[in-house]
Structure 1
């Protein structure tokens, strides 16, 4: 597997999928389709530590990089995802530079950070600790979500935090927290997304975006966004199943 973090910060355009169905079978099916990466949704889906390990194994069976969106900012949640073998984490609701620096510290071993050393799956259950320690700080991807008014206000300072690799825009939460919903709120939301993107790119950060549909990608690419999560497995399953049923009923 190539160094996923290097591809992200290049920045190389990448298309991934959220995995919200809490079972490794769904991950294995998604991984087999050839995405650039997968992101387990530990924020909004019921994925515990044991299940996360199983899902990460399923992605790695097809040599697909996998990151995990953790529930919040707790260092234990971040370390748990990484100890399970994830190639990185996506930390939600980062609104200040201090929160961004804390996320960096949680993903790195000393002296750079505060991550604890342990015999987790990533370190071969203890047998490969020295090898893992030698490369983890340089290979682990840290993406943080800019999805609040605070993130918009503080984006200049957030974007300069060393160790943050991707600033990922959550348009749904950003629209809700800015009061920019629906067609009437579109100009305000677009202005916020444009500002976050331009400031982050000027600071040398890759920028990510959630897209409900692949049709949205080209427009965001023109803005300078390169790291995409296209829907999630549950939505894709529902869309495909609904389309199949509708197609079948055409012959009734």
Structure 2
């Protein structure tokens, strides 16, 4: 199982420190973060130069958002706001070159800034991962049909939005939340496909490790949460020293 950390701002030193501490995969939250196109292009190039796996949670379920992340060199795209199988079919096709999908040709970083041989396109389709998110009640209801799509390599679970979409007041990793997570994992196992889980807490990580199909990657350590935790720890230490 790969372990990734989560970034919402294109901070080079944060990524360097994460990599130096052993994190060789990073999820970029473009949807909720502060990545404009110029920063995204620069940041993905920087991460790839350091040998870091780049997993882009794109701005939204659109062809442009999916293709831009892949063209800049992302190893996988995580597509939010999927409402069901028909929606997933239309959007996930943008992540794969024809004849499998409808991804457009681009001659940038993803192609080494040069023309490639004919076998590049099927090889790139197999190498890059397309992970639509299961974060809506509609996506969960049609999870088997979504996983049956040839353009879908697996599922990225969004437990917080899924809990809200299912009519619960918030995500607290309740029994109902655990049932939803287990349902997604079981569907992926039955389809022979992978899944990814953000495991912010130890009890979440322990739970998913006990499922019949473990996630191919677990995401930990949200960037801004780590910064806040560091400042809270420092503030607590200063208070104990009588300096606050």
Pairwise same-fold verdict (TM > 0.5): yes
Q: Distance in 1 between matches of 2:138 and 2:32?
A: 21
Count of residues paired in the alignment:
239
Q: What displacement does 1:188 show?
A: 2.4
Q: Tell me, which stretches of 5 or more residues in structure 2 are unaligned? A: none
Counterpart residue number, 1:251: 241
Among 126, 129, 145, the residue aligned to 2:133: 145
* 1:229 and 2:219 correspond: yes
Q: Distance in 2 between matches of 1:53 and 1:20?
A: 15
Q: Distance in 2 between matches of 1:184 and 1:18?
A: 20
Cα contact 1:180–1:186 (8 A) shared by 2: no
Counterpart residue number, 1:8: none
Cα contact 1:167–1:206 (8 A) shared by 2: yes
1:88-99 matched pairs, under 5 angstroms: 88-99=76-87
1:126-205 matched pairs, under 5 angstroms: 127-130=114-117, 132-133=120-121, 135-181=123-169, 186-205=174-193
Could you tell me the TM-score, scaled by structure 1's length?
0.86
Q: Answer with 185-194 or 136-145: which moved more.
A: 185-194
Among 99, 108, 125, the residue aligned to 1:111: 99
Q: Distance in 2 between matches of 1:64 and 1:47?
A: 18
* 1:216 and 2:178 correspond: no
Cα contact 1:122–1:132 (8 A) shared by 2: no
Cα contact 1:27–1:55 (8 A) shared by 2: no
Distance 1:182 1:40, change over 3 A: closer
Q: Tell me, which stretches of 5 or more residues in structure 1 are unaligned? A: 1-12
Could you tell me the TM-score, scaled by structure 2's length?
0.89
Cα contact 1:32–1:62 (8 A) shared by 2: no
* 1:63 and 2:51 correspond: yes
* 1:82 and 2:67 correspond: no
Q: Answer with 134-143 or 178-187: which moved more.
A: 178-187
Higher helix share: 1
Counterpart residue number, 2:16: 28
Cα contact 1:78–1:89 (8 A) shared by 2: yes
Q: What displacement does 1:241 show?
A: 2.3
